Amino acid sequence: MQKLTLFLLLLTYSLSSAQQKTEINNILEQWHKAAADANFDAYFGLMTKDAIFIGTDPTENWTNADFKAFSKPYFDKGKAWSFSTLERNIFVENDMSIAWFDELLDTQMGICRGSGVVQKTNQGWKIKHYVLSIAIPNENVKEITELKKTFDTDLMKKLRAKSN
């Protein structure tokens, strides 16, 4: 009897976890589609009010309000950005209130990696933290490092001076 109870509990958790992953996948697809459709309200409606968006530039670490301000002109012009999913992995916390994911995306910048955290809210799953990075093949790292050397040096000096 104990084995059957344990089996049923594991089966229920497995099915529930799979359903949560499907819901999260759908939210992420809706979020990317809202950007492609330049639907500002739908896009930001899928993020928590305290969401953080970290962009590809090292200076892009935005609160939700800052990211809205940055993004609004793009959405207003009817052309935000268009990312399509190539691959996605979703991991759900045991209590199913938090999940995290990573994804490879086809973008105007080539292949990018997105990763983030989603939180279960009263309105369903919402994006709480998102990081977008340009994926660089290992064989190109040296030339990219050289290309951004001056920018990085200047920014590091500024950040170190700020922290002292």
pTM to 2 decimal places: 0.88
Tokens describing residue 73 = 């002109």
Nearest in space to 130 (alpha carbons), one of 148, 149, 154, 105? 105
Q: How many helices (H) and strands (E) does the chain have?
A: 5, 6
Region 102-125: what's the mean pLDDT?
97
How much is the pLDDT for 1? Answer: 62
How much is the pLDDT for 144? Answer: 96
How much is the pLDDT for 8? Answer: 46
Residue 27's Cβ-side half-sphere holds a number of Cα atoms within 13 Å equal to 27
Strand order in the sheet with 47-54: 61-63, 47-54, 124-134, 110-121, 98-107, 84-92
pLDDT digit string, tens, across residues 27-46: 999 999 999 999 999 999 99
Highest averaged pLDDT of the listed ranges 17-21, 59-63, 76-80: 59-63
Region 105-113: what's the mean pLDDT?
97
pLDDT digit string, tens, across residues 114-147: 999 999 999 999 999 999 999 999 999 999 999 9
Rounded alpha-carbon distances, angstroms, from residue 113 to 51, 127, 136: 18, 16, 10
